[in-house]
A and B are shown apart, each in its own frame.
Chain A
């Protein structure tokens, strides 16, 4: 239990992840699913950033007055990976919203149950 409390930041990331997963799977409104997807992806980014920190280190912009060697700066590689993943997340959210717009125009509603009913009626 002590270890779990000591790593409380990872616990909070896991909580966000599960909240996002619940939003994607448990909610019936399609827009809430998209929001859940964004929360889920944000939790993953937070996990990466937490893993990149080092104790006592600072922002990775080189300055001779702060430190001369690499141990004084946090690892910038995960930050670059997160940037790429954020771009992917933005693109996916854009496509999801465009799809939602087309679904709304066609079926008149964003609730999953209503859409499935109308799909069965029109087929």
Chain B
């Protein structure tokens, strides 16, 4: 389907690149504890992929794929992941955000903290993704 720009080169190239950008963003999120990266950076790259689509394919077409309402839901879900990962240890005897008490069986406390950070970084990545797409839509669209 043609977008509003009617330039097939721009459309083709951006459509081709978006999956690679998103996989790279996933890599940045998961390797945050061992190299540069982490939740915020990966979330920004994910938002950049959506912005690329919006700029090159036109808004009416893109809103059907990743609507602003979906961006709000993604942001809220990410924050809920963070809050649940923080509040779950309260019920099992630890402090807030104490990943050693997360109820995942068969892992030692050090490994639980390791995985707990990954869960929280994913939540942060989702929040940043949703928030930046909402910001972009409000700045570039005609919604109030």
A and B touch in the complex (CB under 8 A): yes
Which 8 A-B pairs have CB atoms at the shortest separation, nearest pair first? A94-B135, A87-B40, A97-B139, A98-B138, A101-B139, A98-B139, A83-B40, A61-B35
A61-B34, A86-B40, A94-B132 known; 14 other A-B pairs, CB under 8 Å?
A61-B35, A83-B38, A83-B40, A87-B40, A87-B128, A91-B131, A94-B135, A94-B139, A97-B139, A98-B135, A98-B138, A98-B139, A101-B138, A101-B139
Q: Interface on B for A, CB 8 Å cutoff?
A: 34-35, 38, 40, 128, 131-132, 135, 138-139
- Number of A residues near B (Cβ < 8 Å) is 9
CA distance A94 to B34 in the complex (A): 29
Residues of A participating in the B interface, judged by any CB pair closer than 8 Å? 61, 83, 86-87, 91, 94, 97-98, 101
Bound complex: CA A97 to CA B5 (Å): 25
What are 5 sample pairs from A and B whose C-beta atoms fall under 8 A apart? A83-B40, A86-B40, A87-B40, A98-B139, A101-B138
Chief secondary structure at chain A's binding surface? helix
Q: Is the interface of B mostly helix, strand, loop or mixed?
A: helix
Q: Which residues of the other chain, A, contact B128 by a CB distance below 8 angstroms?
A: 87
